[in-house]
Amino acid sequence: MTLRIGIVGAGANTRLQHIPGFQAIDGVEVTAVCNRSLASGQKVADEFGITQVFDDWKALVHCDDVDAVCVGTWPYLHCPISLETLAVNKHILTEARMCMDLDEARQMHAAARAKDRVAMIVPAPFYLLAESILLEKLRNGFFGDILEIEVRGLGGGYNVDAPLHWRQRRDFSGQNIMALGIFNETVRRYVGHEKAVMAHGKIFTRERKDPDTGAQGTVDIPESLGVVAEMESGATAVYHVSSVARLGDSFTFEFYGTKGSFKMEGGTAMAAGKVWIAGEGDSEYQQLKLPEHPRNGWRVEEDFVDAIRDGKQVTHTNFADGVKYMEFTEAVQVSLAEGRKVVLAEL
């Protein structure tokens, strides 16, 4: 039986990854699309041979020719579309970041628990090919106990004339700050949850031109962010994330243990980068050899379909894990607003 997918929000990543990804799977058909306008939706439909175009996402969700919905919108619509989709007993895959804030994340998780439907978030895509190897070494004690974690996501470059981006607008992004949530999701795969956080952020350019209206709009999400997190394990994690760091070092994750260390660096979200390990007694890192994969281990559409058809457990990423990284993001925002250490259990 054909699995029919409806797409809400057909931005660049959806057109590059999700639609082709679904169309490459036997027995899966993308039957409907809804974008920001009917014209832009029709353009996507013509490009990919999609038969139905909607200008109302609710109509797509309720369409009889749709069994599952893939949400590629900005975060402000992730929660309402997910709740509506689950309410009519359909499967849901939503783009990261999970939603606007912790309250929405908890609503989504509760709705998913109440239904026998697959509820999945597009996972953080960093270094997936190395993940199983590194987790096995952690379990075997190769690195000992992790004491320190350092995360850097430094990119972009200061440009006062750049237009206002949706990631700089709280009304579209909510509590999310740059790529902080998916960085945290990556860290948590290896070292678990946070106990408390302290954060400092900075906005360098308060107003930018809105590319849709031509008017000046307010930047209300930090362009530079530092976070110190106390992990439940006792380790310390330090994050430095910036969209104004010209020639910054892209994505770098470093884990330092009592016996050894590992670091993942370079590349982009969908590029492999390099992974380095050092064990007890090693005086330098050795590069970890990784298997080849056409998308560097990123198989979102296949995992979603396998979960629907075969009942495969969702690990990358389920709504429960999404609540955890939204909890971390919320704590960071509270710390920024109130200038204090925030214990996550209090949220």
Residue 183, in any domain of the structure: yes
DSSP H helical ranges for 63-165: 78-87, 102-113, 128-139
- Shared domain for 15 and 149, answered yes or no, is no
What's the total number of domains in the chain? 2
Judge if 196 and 341 occupy the same domain.
yes
Are 81 and 167 found together in one domain?
Answer: no
Q: Return the pLDDT at 269.
A: 63
Mean pLDDT over 164-176 rounds to 96
Indicate which CATH number applies to the domain containing 39.
Answer: 3.40.50.720
Whole-number average pLDDT of the chain: 96
Domain co-membership, 287 together with 304: no
Is the bond into 188 cis (omega within 30 degrees of 0)?
no
Q: Are 167 and 137 in the same domain? A: yes
Report the predicted TM-score, pTM, of the whole model to 2 decimal places: 0.95
Provide the 3-class DSSP secondary structure of residue 230: strand
The amino acid present at 296, given as its one-letter code, is N
* Residue 321, domain member (yes or no): no
179 with 279, same domain: the answer is yes
The pLDDT value given to residue 266:
85
213 and 305 share one domain: no
Establish if 65 belongs to a structural domain.
Answer: yes
Residue 57 pLDDT greater than 80, yes or no: yes
Structure-token pair, residue 116: 């026998």
What would the two tokens of residue 175 be? 């509590």
Are 165 and 195 found together in one domain? yes
Do 132 and 269 belong together in one domain? yes
pLDDT in tens, 276-329: 999 999 999 999 998 888 888 889 999 999 999 999 999 999 999 999 999 999
User: Predicted confidence band at 47 (pLDDT cuts at 50, 70, 90)?
Assistant: very high
> Which structural domain, as residue segments, surrounds residue 148?
128-296+326-346
Mean pLDDT for the stretch of residues 238-266: 94
Overall average pLDDT of the 10-23 stretch: 95
Q: Please, which pLDDT band fits residue 49 given cuts at 50, 70 and 90?
A: very high
At 251 the pLDDT is 87
State whether 135 and 282 are in the same domain. yes
User: Could you give the CA distance from residue 181 to residue 187 in angstroms, rounded to a whole number?
Assistant: 10
CA 175/CA 177 separation, integer angstroms: 6
CA distance to 33, 98, 326, per residue, from 106 (Å):
27, 11, 9
Binned at pLDDT 50, 70 and 90, residue 247 comes out as confident
- Residues 85 and 206 both lie in one domain: no
Q: Is 140 among the domain residues?
A: yes
Q: Of the given ranges (99-108, 112-121, 241-250), which has the lowest mean pLDDT?
A: 241-250
Banded pLDDT at 238 (limits 50, 70, 90): very high
Residues 176-194 pLDDT 10s: 999 999 999 999 999 999 9
pLDDT of 246 above 80: yes
d(CA 241, CA 149): 14
102/198 same-domain check: no
Q: Which strands, in side-by-side order, build the sheet including 52-54?
A: 52-54, 28-34, 3-8, 68-71, 91-94, 119-121
**Encoding tokens for residue 192?**
């678990």
Yes or no: say if 184 and 126 are a contact pair by the CB < 8 Å rule.
no
DSSP string, 262-318: EEEESS-TTS--EEEEE-TT-SS-EEPP----TTTT--HHHHHHHHHHH-PPP-SSB
Q: Is residue 62 part of a domain?
A: yes
At residue 129, does pLDDT exceed 80? yes
pLDDT of residue 296: 84
CATH of the domain at 235: 3.30.360.10
